[in-house]
């Protein structure tokens, strides 16, 4: 049911006011939101299904109940920190020099990542740490949404002064043009597509379009993972640049997913919608030829 005019007005007022309330307010509110949701069957059932999908196939089913509660808490925190962009767009970055060096060659680059950790602040954190301008592909539902929540998410994703958000409907051809023109393009790889890769001990759907675009444009690929240090503080790690012309697209895609997998399973409850982002493929599915 569409939101009433009054509700839309209230949402837009909150969109203006909430960023001024600070991350402390956001964190306190997240605790309250999570505590309420952890008592509600709808949220518990969904979180349990998400964590079972992620952890069951790798023999970690005994962790599902605890991870489901943490999943609810992290999702609440992520939703609230969206209104305090600086809390997530200034994450510590290791390996930013790899992107700096790739950009210094005068060519474009593909930077890929997963919807994991504080991914909404990933692009700005990495691009600013590397000192490079960047563009990021986003679903049309993010780019064009009138929802205050999604508008704010888009604002966080493109928070940096050197960041531009474009609709993923530009497709492979559009990304190829951008990278051939020297742009650094950020694209999430954990979106269902026609390719099939191995992740978490079973075949899942993934998209190879961005890698195919990088290969056509002849630009390098870098992978960013979301990690936590021994004190539980999140940070980002940028891989060394990879030559996209040195192997078939499918092989490169699998290597990207295999790079992301350990960080996801080290911090499972911070994985965004595993049932959607790592949707299962049929067991007998064949990976498409590159």
Task: Calculate the average pLDDT of the chain.
Answer: 89
Average pLDDT of span 149-154: 62
Average pLDDT of span 34-51: 97
pLDDT digits (tens, 9 = 90+) for 179-203: 999 999 999 999 888 899 999 999 9
Sheet holding 184-188, edge to edge: 92-94, 234-238, 221-228, 109-113, 184-188, 134-138, 163-167
Q: How confident is the model at residue 290 (pLDDT cuts 50, 70, 90)?
A: very low
Question: What's the rounded Cα separation, in Å, for the pair 31 and 234?
Answer: 18
In the prediction, which pLDDT does 23 show? 83
- Across the chain, how many H-helices and E-strands are there? 12, 9
pLDDT digits (tens, 9 = 90+) for 112-137: 999 999 999 999 999 999 999 999 98
Average pLDDT of span 145-162: 62
pLDDT digits (tens, 9 = 90+) for 57-102: 999 999 999 999 999 999 999 988 888 888 899 999 999 999 999 9
Tell whether the model's pLDDT for residue 111 goes beyond 80. yes
In the prediction, which pLDDT does 102 show? 96
Question: What's the rounded Cα separation, in Å, for the pair 186 and 122?
Answer: 10
Helix residue ranges, H only, the chain: 5-17, 22-37, 41-55, 64-81, 96-104, 122-130, 140-143, 148-157, 171-180, 209-217, 249-266, 274-277
How many residues in total does the chain contain?
290
In the prediction, which pLDDT does 288 show? 46
């Amino acid at each position: 049911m569409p939101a009433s005019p009054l509700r839309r007005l209230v949402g837009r007022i909150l969109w203006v006011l909430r960023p001024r309330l600070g991350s402390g307010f956001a964190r306190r509110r997240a605790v309250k939101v999570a505590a309420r949701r952890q008592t509600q069957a709808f949220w518990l059932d969904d979180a349990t299904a998400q964590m079972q999908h992620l952890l069951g196939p790798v023999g970690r089913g005994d962790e599902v109940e605890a991870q489901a509660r943490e999943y609810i808490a992290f999702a609440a925190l992520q939703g609230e920190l969206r209104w305090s962009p600086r809390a997530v767009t200034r994450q510590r970055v290791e390996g930013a020099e790899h992107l700096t060096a790739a950009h210094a060659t005068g060519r474009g680059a593909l930077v890929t990542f997963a919807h994991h950790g504080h991914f909404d602040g990933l692009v700005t954190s990495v691009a600013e740490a590397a000192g490079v301008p960047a563009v990021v592909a986003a679903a049309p539902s993010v780019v064009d949404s009138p929802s205050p929540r999604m508008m704010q998410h888009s604002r966080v994703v493109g928070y940096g002064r050197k960041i531009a958000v474009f609709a993923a409907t530009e497709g492979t051809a559009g990304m190829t043009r951008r990278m051939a023109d020297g742009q650094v393009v950020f694209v999430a790889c954990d979106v269902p597509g026609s390719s099939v890769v191995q992740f978490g001990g079973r075949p899942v759907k993934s998209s190879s379009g961005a890698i195919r675009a990088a290969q056509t444009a002849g630009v390098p690929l870098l992978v960013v993972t979301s990690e936590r240090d021994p004190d539980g503080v999140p940070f980002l790690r940028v891989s060394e640049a990879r030559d996209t012309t040195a192997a078939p697209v499918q092989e490169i895609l699998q290597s990207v997913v295999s790079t992301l997998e350990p960080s996801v399973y080290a911090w499972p409850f911070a994985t965004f919608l595993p049932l959607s982002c790592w949707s299962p493929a049929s067991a007998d599915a064949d990976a498409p030829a590159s």
